[in-house]
Chain A
């Protein structure tokens, strides 16, 4: 049995599912983003959708005849922890336009989601519960390790920058070409999505987006310790248009706002990044 997990949008919030499927010996199929996928996405998406959404639809297009099922959850939390509006229409967009079998769950209680999807794949509840437990342990272990590594970078002697962006942008292999440009300098990159959302209150009181809270609290936590902040956004991201603008007005560190539409030429980005690094290193 093959289950497709498109590497876009919710993939980075559903990492536990990968462990879960592995535990049940279900083959998980997902590809890294490449030029072909982006082109497929451009063709099947509405022209006004954001680049991350286009990438997601490209993945679905690419996966649809390569697997038996595709997992599309409907992530939503309470009113104080909302998701971007795009996340709520993914399932219906795909079910209306693609002829693939879909696995889905409504975000209520975690174990219930796993039971629902597992039973649909034909497993017994005992198996599912066991796999869920192991997946949780494995996931927590790796996530903790990543978090620690990320925090340890704050103590390094090198110049440090904080990369602020959503997981589905800063972890995407194709968009990462831009971030790789930083790596030739001797600079530590601290990722904003590996923080807790405890500190957002210091910068923004009315914020109600779950994953923007994490970004904002990362800025609030380490704005004194880093040398510069890089905002990494796809065009036209609804949440970042407001949240990043507010952050830019409230911080007094050097910052760089990278908005990515189509990655046709990296030359322009390269110049901007180089001059930004120059500014940091002069301090």
Chain B
């Protein structure tokens, strides 16, 4: 519990409105375990410990923000709470026993059966109720995509959401603006939370083996299920420069520690199709802390944003001891989980050029379930079409190789051709030249090739606007 200068520091936050100090708690202990074991707050449940069921949902006002957001406490490290406001299901109802609106609505609609998932639903909807969104059917499903219920069939819960969340909430959420500490140490575990990029780079150099923790939606699995106790962890989401989003007329630069949720409005404005995809990444609980920087950093072959960013010709801004370095994203992915990032470098931001008038962008994700599923295949297409002729094509796929990768043969088959369904279909048939995917539990190799190829036909029909092309839109 010492900072870089040897000062004693602790993890301070507010828990259900009361000041709270995590004393002698390992900083990478999950918030779920901390709540249940250390605080005796048993309302928050563990359903999966992998951020996919939502039973552990709590509401957080992250440090430096004034939004109540739902997050999965099973993937959140206690160190990430520093300076935040945390609300659990125990903190909702009034002392006189009066239920919070969402709770009352769920009771009214018979929205509970076994009740184990219920606290998580309550927290997800509590966050929705306090958001500034205009609540629609679409938004309700968006807000509930991270919560699984096995009993009710959801209809009653959706009705409760409609009843409770369409009424404006009085008052605003106070900003969580508490002083945070740069370092914690408990039981030999160091947890650094630098506030500047320079500090981060220095720590990266000093602890080259320490994992970088951003939202923790991937690394958090190492804490929750992997039961790993890293000697040193470096948390990046307090780094001011990395939370910045810069929106220019010709490009969007997203800081590596900016969350999906924070980035979404900017992505929506520039590439609506990309925004539709982002809304299918994990759930709100995931996107409220997860970052595009992390999605790139972990270099998974099935990450959803890299194919889009490659098709959009994004550039990574890296920072190391010798200063900044830029690299085209496509060149960053070397092999399965291998990247061009040097051991002493960090990803600071990703810069994405916007479309010019002749360009179109579409991305399609194929998975067993529409919401909160990992892609079997994801295709991203940026075409430059002038006078019905394809001038340029940048096409990238995920789930088709060990890294997100461009479909070079398909691109060649399109460039210079008149843009017709036949052109699209023919280009799609070349998928098998570009990729040799694998069989796994998400899909067979044959299906992956077939569907990737068919996505070219969908692309044509979608751009032509002549046919409804996605079942979810009905």
Partners in one complex: no
Q: Which residues of A contact B (CB under 8 A)?
A: none
